[in-house]
C-alpha cells in the first residue's frame, strides 16, 4: 500500500471526530454515531483506494452506509479491506467521558478477519511483553510473565478491564495476584492500544468485549509491535453457525495475530473525540476553527505518527451574523 494512503485515512477519522464531537455530553449516542458515519462515508469518496468494508455498521439491511460489503473510496487505488468504527465508545461521547475515538483499520484484500458482531475473549499487551502471554493461562501466570518481561514487580503492573458483572472473577484474580486495575465503562479498542503506548501506564488488557473491536485493536497492535490473543464467545446456536459460516470449524479456536490480521502491510488511523490516555479530544476554537489530535501507523515500516491538525470549519458562531461588530 502507498504511504500516502495513511495520511488520507487520517482525514477520514478527523472528519468523523469533528462531527461526533459536536454532540459530546449531549446524551445522544445515536446522534453522535450517525453524525460520524455521515462524515466518514462522505470523506471516503475522496480517498484513492478500492476499499471493501469488512467490519462496519452492520449488514446492508441494518445500515444505509458503511455496511459490511460496501465498496468505498475512489475505486482507482489498491484493493484493500477496511474495518471502521466511526465512534468507538458512543456512550463515552454521550456522557462526555474519556477515550472516545474514531478509527479505521486497513489491510490488503482478505487481510482482516471478518469478525461477526458477537463477544470475544481477549488478552492484549505491548511490544515488551509480546510472546509472553497465553489466553489459556491463569491471570496470575500471565501477570508474572508480563512482570518478568517488563522488569517490573507485579504490584507495578496495571491491568485494564471493562467494568461488567462478567468480569468480577477476573477482577478478583488480578487483585489477588497483587496487580493494580484500571476499570473502564466502555472502549476496549482504546484500552488495547493503551497497552502498547508506554506513557499510558497500562500493561495488559483482560476480558470479553466485541469481536469487531478485537480485530480493529489487533490491527493497531500489529502496527505497534504488540500482541493480542482471542477467542470468539458465541451466546447461542445462531452465533455458532455464523462462526462456522466464516470458515472456522473449531468454534473454540484460539485466535492469534495471524488469524486476526494476515499480512505485514496494515495501516491504522485514529482521531480522538474525547481526550483520553493517548489522544486529545476535539477542541472547538474561536472563529469556527477546531483542533484534532490523531495517531496514524503503518505495520510494514513501523512508522507511528501523532498528528495535530487545525481545521477551519464552515459553520461560524451564530452571533457573527447577528452582530458583525463583535
| Residue ranges of the binding site for substrate | 88-90, 119, 164-166, 186-188, 210
Q: How far apart are CA 73 and CA 82, in angstroms?
A: 10
| Sole residue written with cell 446492508 | 60
HEC profile of the chain: CCHHHHHHHHHHHHHHHHHHHCCCCCCCHHHHHHHHHHHHHHHHCCCCCEEEEEECCCCCCCCCCCCCCCEECCCCCCEEEEEEEEEECHHHHHHCCCCCEEEEEEEECCCECCCCCCEEEEEEECHHHCCCCCCCCCHHHHHHHHHHHCCCCHHHCEEEEECCHHHHHHHHHHHHHCCEEEEECCCHHHHHHHCCCHHHCCCEEEEEEEHHHHHHHHHHHHHHCCEEEEEEECCCHHHHHHHHHCCCCCCCCCECHHHHECCCCCEEEEEECCCCCCCCCCEEEHHHEEEEEEEEEECCCCEEEEEEEEEECCCCCCHHHHCCCC
Return binding residues.
33, 57, 85, 88-90, 119, 164-166, 186-188, 210, 213
Return binding residues for Mn(2+).
33, 57, 85, 88, 213
> Nearest-CA neighbor of 273 among 71, 27, 20?
20
Amino acid at each position: 500500500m502507498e504511504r500516502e494512503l495513511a495520511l488520507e485515512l487520517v482525514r477520514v477519522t478527523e472528519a468523523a471526530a469533528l462531527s461526533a464531537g459536536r454532540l459530546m455530553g449531549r446524551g445522544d449516542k445515536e446522534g453522535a454515531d450517525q453524525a460520524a458515519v455521515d462524515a466518514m462515508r462522505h470523506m471516503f469518496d475522496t480517498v484513492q483506494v478500492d476499499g471493501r468494508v469488512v467490519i462496519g455498521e452492520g449488514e446492508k439491511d441494518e445500515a444505509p452506509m458503511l455496511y459490511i460489503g460496501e465498496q468505498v473510496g475512489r475505486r482507482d487505488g489498491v484493493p484493500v479491506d477496511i474495518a471502521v468504527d466511526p465512534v468507538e465508545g458512543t456512550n463515552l461521547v454521550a456522557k462526555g467521558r474519556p477515550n472516545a475515538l474514531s478509527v479505521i483499520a486497513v489491510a490488503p484484500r482478505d487481510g482482516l478477519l471478518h469478525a461477526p458482531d458477537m463477544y470475544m475473549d481477549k488478552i492484549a499487551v505491548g511490544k515488551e511483553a509480546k510472546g509472553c502471554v497465553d489466553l489459556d493461562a491463569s491471570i496470575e501466570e500471565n501477570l508474572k510473565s508480563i512482570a518478568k518481561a517488563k522488569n517490573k514487580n507485579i504490584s507495578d503492573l496495571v491491568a485494564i478491564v471493562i467494568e461488567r458483572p462478567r468480569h468480577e472473577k477476573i477482577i478478583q484474580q488480578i487483585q489477588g495476584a497483587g496487580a493494580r486495575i484500571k476499570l473502564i465503562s466502555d472502549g476496549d479498542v482504546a484500552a488495547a492500544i493503551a497497552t502498547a503506548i508506554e506513557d499510558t501506564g497500562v500493561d495488559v488488557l483482560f476480558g470479553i468485549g466485541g469481536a469487531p473491536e478485537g480485530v480493529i485493536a489487533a490491527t493497531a497492535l500489529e502496527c505497534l509491535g504488540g500482541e493480542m490473543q482471542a477467542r470468539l464467545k458465541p451466546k447461542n446456536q445462531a452465533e455458532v453457525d455464523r462462526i462456522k459460516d466464516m470458515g472456522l470449524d473449531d468454534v473454540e479456536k484460539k485466535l492469534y495475530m495471524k488469524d486476526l490480521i494476515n499480512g505485514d502491510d496494515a495501516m491504522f488511523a485514529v482521531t480522538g473525540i474525547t481526550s483520553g490516555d493517548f489522544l486529545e479530544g476535539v477542541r472547538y476554537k474561536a472563529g469556527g476553527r477546531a483542533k484534532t489530535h490523531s495517531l496514524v501507523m503503518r505495520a510494514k515500516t513501523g512508522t507511528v505518527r501523532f498528528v495535530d491538525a487545525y481545521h477551519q470549519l464552515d459553520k461560524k458562531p451564530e452571533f457573527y451574523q447577528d452582530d458583525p461588530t463583535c
